[in-house]
């Protein structure tokens, strides 16, 4: 598998604001690669630079092994773009919109007709072929936006927050579709600030903030990078300070909080933490209700790396 | 690729309902209103009894009758109005004339002042009514006829004799209570203004095209910029789609005015259509130019463009008949370079002057303007990388 995208030392400034700060990235063929970061972290700027739309101050961008320029028409033929804002013509119906955008890549009419039909089927828009965009719901509109970006069967697809403002049913449909496209051979660059989506579908993830690539790897690798191995919560009424202090001294515990009758124990990586804690409660005759363990999420990863919540 | 882009651009522009209204429907509505107003005035004026007019002078010491007689054409015009029974004329000093007007012994006061070119006339009314409307119409018609004659003297002196003959043609005056020149009723200038306006409004279609072509202006522009289709191919096919739509709307207007309303615009339709194609090319190029040169949000761009077009139309006399004449006297270069003036001149040259030299000059001017604007626009549009998105 070769490298589909190589970014080396990319710097992009908007006057005083540094949108991309010596950003590096390599994406392998066949990946669903997630760019995760809060709004304004530089995800869309990165995509615009890769697509050759945006001038940048420094660095190098290669796509399919070749430097990417605005005039890299050969490379562009194999790229599909699903933008954050729905990019369709309000004046054309569903079928015409897909045909129009597919026609920018595929000149053969017969082949294009086949591709358009397949894209309509893929997006589940068969019943809405003759609908103009304003007659579609938000979810259907997003699906149309995706269909317009992938109808020409690109090898590399950029999906910039394709599920923003979409109902859960449509969101699931969209995510399933992305996985399906990947199974058919497309490399997908997926940006989102919804960590659950990225965690669900992406094989590798880069965490971005303030134009920097803070961490990169599989979700397991990212979670391994942080101190938190596990967080155990327990419902306990009237926990004494003495017990709190004793919990802190248990193996692997690095932080203990007690808020609204909930004890929250943060562990570094280690084993048998839950069993050990329950045994401790029994031994100390602590009355407890529900007890549950949570593994770290990407939000925890982000929180630890940046010191702020992903959705700030 | 050209046809793919062209076909869909036609569909997109045809469905731009607001633009379609202003460029296609609005001129038809205006044309209908003009037709109703002008024919109403004409019909009523044909059945009216004599209008009492008192002719006076305010600033001159000369005797009023002498002032009138000092300008042969004006004197002939007044005489013909009297002999045809339209005017019942009194001559009086200013104070008496004012009194007659106040006592409603006169429908209107026609003030005359001697000038280098003859007699300058203006009307004063004490009330409004049908007689006042008709009187105003007749005097305006005469003044416009004289302006046409002066215009002809400047632009097509070889046609002057024929034009003057038509101005003094009593048969036409009797029929229309207007001064008719060749095939042109003076009120036809308003229909030509509509033609010019329709072609100039093609700029709106050009503006829409630029918004859809630039990645920093619309998400559709961004998606298209990311595609492997070359910018030039997009710009050229979509430019011609915008021209096609403007031209279709022009033809619809022309057919409506001539076939449905029965307005006589002459019979040189080939020349009119060719002029309209050139004017549409220019109009759309203006839209492209404003679309790429003006920076800011779309509404701001639209506002700047429409304000400029309306100002150019104003200078070209499309809103106030005298303006073009005033500019011709004070700063003629403006009329030579103002696209709206060039377009309207082109239509006048076919239907009024019958002057192929002027027609050719206007066509060439439109072509030069189109090339300048198109080259400027394309050189900016063809860039494919942006500082901001």
| pLDDT tens-digit readout, A72-119 | 889 999 999 998 889 999 999 999 999 999 999 999 999 999 999 999
pLDDT tens, position by position, A179-209: 999 999 999 999 887 888 888 899 999 999 8
Flag if A53 and B385 touch (Cβ within 8 Å): yes
pLDDT of residue B182: 39
Residues A74 and A38 in one domain: yes
Q: Determine which of A129-143, B156-170, B279-293 has the lowest per-residue pLDDT on average.
A: B156-170
pLDDT exceeds cutoff 60 at A269 = yes
Residues A186 and A247 in one domain: no
pLDDT of residue A170: 81
pLDDT of residue B167: 62
Residues A275 and A206 in one domain: no
Nearest neighbour of A86 by CB, restricted to B219, B224, B225: B219
pLDDT exceeds cutoff 70 at B177 = no
Question: Count of residues for chain B?
Answer: 389
Query: Which among B13, B17, B226 is the top mutation candidate for probing chain A, defined by the most A β-carbons within 10 Å of its own β-carbon?
Result: B226
Residues A34 and A162 in one domain: yes
pLDDT of residue B383: 67
- Rounded Cα distance between A257 and A254, Å, is 10
Give the pLDDT band (50/70/90) at residue B321.
low
- Whether A33 and A204 have beta carbons less than 8 Å apart is answered as yes
pLDDT of residue B278: 95
Secondary structure of residue A193 in the 3-state scheme: coil
Flag if A104 and B12 touch (Cβ within 8 Å): no
pLDDT exceeds cutoff 60 at B48 = no
Flag if A104 and B229 touch (Cβ within 8 Å): yes
Complex ipTM > 0.85: no
Residues A70 and A165 in one domain: yes
Nearest neighbour of B227 by CB, restricted to A91, A104, A107: A104
- Return the beta strands (E) in chain A as ranges: 3-14, 17-28, 32-36, 58-63, 66-67, 79-82, 156-160, 187-192, 204-209, 212-217, 230-236, 253-259, 262-267, 288-294
Provide the CB-side half-sphere exposure for A58 (13 A, CA).
10
Query: Which residues of A fall below an 8 Å CB-CB distance to B?
Result: 14, 44, 48, 51-55, 70-71, 73-74, 76-77, 79, 81, 83, 85-92, 96, 100-101, 103-105, 107, 148-149
- Rounded Cα distance between B383 and B389, Å, is 14
pLDDT tens, position by position, B342-385: 998 888 777 666 678 889 999 999 999 999 999 998 888 876 67
Residues A160 and A221 in one domain: yes
Residues A74 and A160 in one domain: yes
- B290 min Cα distance to partner chain A (Å): 22
Flag if A103 and B4 touch (Cβ within 8 Å): yes
Give the sign of the dihedral formed by CA B338, CA B237, CA B212, CA A136: positive
Tell which CATH classification among 3.30.300, 3.40.190, 2.60.40, 3.90.550 matches the domain B48-176: 3.40.190
Taking the CB of residue A257, how many other CB atoms lie within 10 A of it?
12
Nearest neighbour of B220 by CB, restricted to A52, A70, A89: A89
- Whether B210 and B217 have beta carbons less than 8 Å apart is answered as yes
Contacts of B228 in chain A (CB under 8 A): 73-74, 76-77, 104-105
Q: Percentage of chain A surpassing pLDDT 70?
A: 98
pLDDT tens, position by position, B72-117: 888 888 888 888 778 889 998 888 888 898 888 888 999 888 888 7
Paired strand residues for A36 = A192, A207
Q: Percentage of chain B surpassing pLDDT 90?
A: 26
Query: Which residues of B fall below an 8 Å CB-CB distance to A?
Result: 1, 4-5, 8, 11-16, 212, 215, 218-220, 222-230, 384-389
Question: For B389, which residue in chain A has the nearest alpha carbon?
Answer: A54
Residues A126 and A220 in one domain: no
The more confident residue out of A303 and A283 is A283
Give the pLDDT band (50/70/90) at residue A165.
confident
Nearest neighbour of B11 by CB, restricted to A48, A70, A91: A91
How far CA A131 is from CA of A98, A118, A164, in Å, comes to: 12, 17, 22
**DSSP annotation string for B114-154:** EETTEEEEEEE-SS-SHHHHHHHHHHHHHHHHHHHHHHHHH
**DSSP annotation string for B375-389:** HHHHHHHT---BS--
Flag if A88 and B225 touch (Cβ within 8 Å): no
Contacts of B387 in chain A (CB under 8 A): 54-55
pLDDT exceeds cutoff 70 at B40 = no
Query: Which of the residue ranges B172-181, B223-232, B259-268, B373-382 has the most confident prediction, judged by mean pLDDT?
Result: B223-232
Average pLDDT taken over every residue of chain A? 90
Residues A63 and A160 in one domain: yes
Mean pLDDT within A42-53: 90
pLDDT of residue B176: 41
Pairing of strands A187-192, A156-160: parallel
Total number of domains in chain A: 3
Provide the CB-side half-sphere exposure for A147 (13 A, CA).
31
Residues A106 and A211 in one domain: no
Q: Residue A288 belongs to what domain range?
A: 230-295
Contacting residues for A125 by C-beta, under 8 A, at least 6 apart: A94, A140, A143, A144, A147
Residues A216 and A249 in one domain: no
| Comma-separated ranges of CATH 3.40.190 domains in chain B | 48-176
User: In CATH, what number is assigned to the domain containing residue A208?
Assistant: 3.40.50.300
Q: Is residue A306 part of a domain?
A: no
Residues A194 and A219 in one domain: yes
Give the pLDDT band (50/70/90) at residue B5.
very high
Query: Which among B219, B222, B228, B231 is the top mutation candidate for probing chain A, defined by the most A β-carbons within 10 Å of its own β-carbon?
Result: B228
- Rounded Cα distance between B372 and A154, Å, is 39
Q: Is residue A278 part of a domain?
A: yes
User: In CATH, what number is assigned to the domain containing residue A260?
Assistant: 3.30.70.100
pLDDT exceeds cutoff 60 at B184 = no
pLDDT tens, position by position, B197-227: 889 889 999 999 999 988 888 899 999 999 9
Give the pLDDT band (50/70/90) at residue B172.
very low
- B233 min Cα distance to partner chain A (Å): 11
Residue tagged 């549009």 (tokens): B381
pLDDT of residue B183: 43
> What distance lies between CA B299 and its chain's CA centroid?
26
pLDDT of residue B58: 84
């Amino acid at each position: 598998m070769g490298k589909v995208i190589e970014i080396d030392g990319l710097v992009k400034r908007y006057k005083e604001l540094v949108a991309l700060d010596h950003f590096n990235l390599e994406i392998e063929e066949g990946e669903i690669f997630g760019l995760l970061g809060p709004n304004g972290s530089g995800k869309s700027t990165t995509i615009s630079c890769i697509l050759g739309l945006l001038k940048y101050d420094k660095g190098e961008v290669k796509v399919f092994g070749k430097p990417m320029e605005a005039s890299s028409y050969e490379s562009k033929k194999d790229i599909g773009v699903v933008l954050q804002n729905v990019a369709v013509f309000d004046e054309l119906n569903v079928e015409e919109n897909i045909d129009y955008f597919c026609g920018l890549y595929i000149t053969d009419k017969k082949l294009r007709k086949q591709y358009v039909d397949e894209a309509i089927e893929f997006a589940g828009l068969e019943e809405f072929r003759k609908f103009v965009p304003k007659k579609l719901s938000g979810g259907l509109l997003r699906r149309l936006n995706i269909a317009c970006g992938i109808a020409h069967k690109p090898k590399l697809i950029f999906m910039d927050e394709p599920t923003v403002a979409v109902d859960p049913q449509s969101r699931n449909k969209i995510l399933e579709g992305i996985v399906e496209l990947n199974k058919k051979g497309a490399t997908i660059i997926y940006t989102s600030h919804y960590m659950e989506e990225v965690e669900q579908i992406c094989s590798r993830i880069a965490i971005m903030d303030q134009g920097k690539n803070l961490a990169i790897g599989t979700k397991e690798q990212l979670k391994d990078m942080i101190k938190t191995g596990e967080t155990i919560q327990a419902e306990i009424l009237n926990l004494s300070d003495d017990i709190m202090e004793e919990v802190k001294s248990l193996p692997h515990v690095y932080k203990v909080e007690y808020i609204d009758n909930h004890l929250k124990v943060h562990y570094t990586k280690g084993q048998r933490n839950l069993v050990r804690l329950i045994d401790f409660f029994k031994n100390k005759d602590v009355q407890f209700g529900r007890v549950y363990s949570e593994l770290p999420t990407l939000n925890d990863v982000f929180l630890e790396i940046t010191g702020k919540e992903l959705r700030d | 690729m050209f046809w793919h882009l062209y076909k869909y651009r036609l569909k997109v522009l045809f469905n731009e309902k607001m633009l379609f209204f202003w460029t296609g429907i609005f001129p038809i509505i205006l044309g209908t209103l003009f037709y109703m107003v002008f024919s109403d005035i004409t019909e009523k004026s044909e059945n009216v009894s004599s209008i009492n007019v008192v002719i006076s002078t305010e600033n001159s010491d000369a005797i009023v009758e002498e002032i009138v007689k000092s300008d042969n054409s004006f004197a002939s015009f007044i005489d013909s109005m009297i002999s045809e029974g339209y005017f019942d004329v009194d001559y009086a000093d200013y104070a008496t004339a004012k009194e007659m007007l106040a006592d409603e012994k006169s429908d209107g006061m026609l003030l005359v002042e001697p000038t280098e070119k003859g007699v300058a006339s203006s009307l004063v009314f004490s009330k409004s009514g049908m007689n006042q409307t008709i009187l105003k119409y007749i005097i305006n018609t005469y003044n416009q006829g004289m302006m046409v004659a002066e215009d002809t003297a400047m632009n097509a002196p070889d046609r002057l004799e024929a034009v003057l003959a038509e101005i003094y043609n009593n048969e036409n005056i009797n029929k229309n209570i207007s001064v008719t020149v060749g095939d042109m009723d003076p009120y036809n200038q308003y229909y030509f203004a509509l033609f010019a306006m329709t072609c100039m409004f093609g700029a709106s279609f050009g503006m829409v095209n630029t918004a859809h072509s630039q990645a920093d202006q619309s998400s559709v522009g961004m998606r298209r910029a990311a595609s492997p289709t070359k910018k030039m191919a997009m710009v050229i096919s979509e430019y011609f789609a915008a021209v096609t739509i403007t031209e279709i709307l022009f033809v619809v207007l022309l057919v409506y005015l001539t076939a449905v309303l029965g307005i006589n615009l002459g019979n040189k339709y080939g020349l009119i259509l060719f002029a309209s194609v050139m004017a549409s090319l220019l109009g759309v190029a203006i839209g492209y130019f404003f679309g790429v040169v003006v920076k800011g949000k779309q509404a701001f761009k639209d506002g700047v463009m429409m304000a400029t077009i309306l100002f150019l139309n104003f200078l070209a006399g499309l809103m106030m008949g005298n303006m073009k004449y005033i500019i011709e006297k004070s700063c003629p270069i403006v009329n030579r370079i103002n696209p709206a003036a060039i377009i309207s001149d082109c239509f006048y040259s076919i239907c009024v002057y019958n002057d192929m030299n002027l027609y050719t000059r206007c066509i060439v001017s439109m072509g030069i303007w189109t090339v300048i604007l198109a080259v400027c626009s394309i050189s900016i549009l063809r860039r494919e990388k942006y500082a901001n998105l």
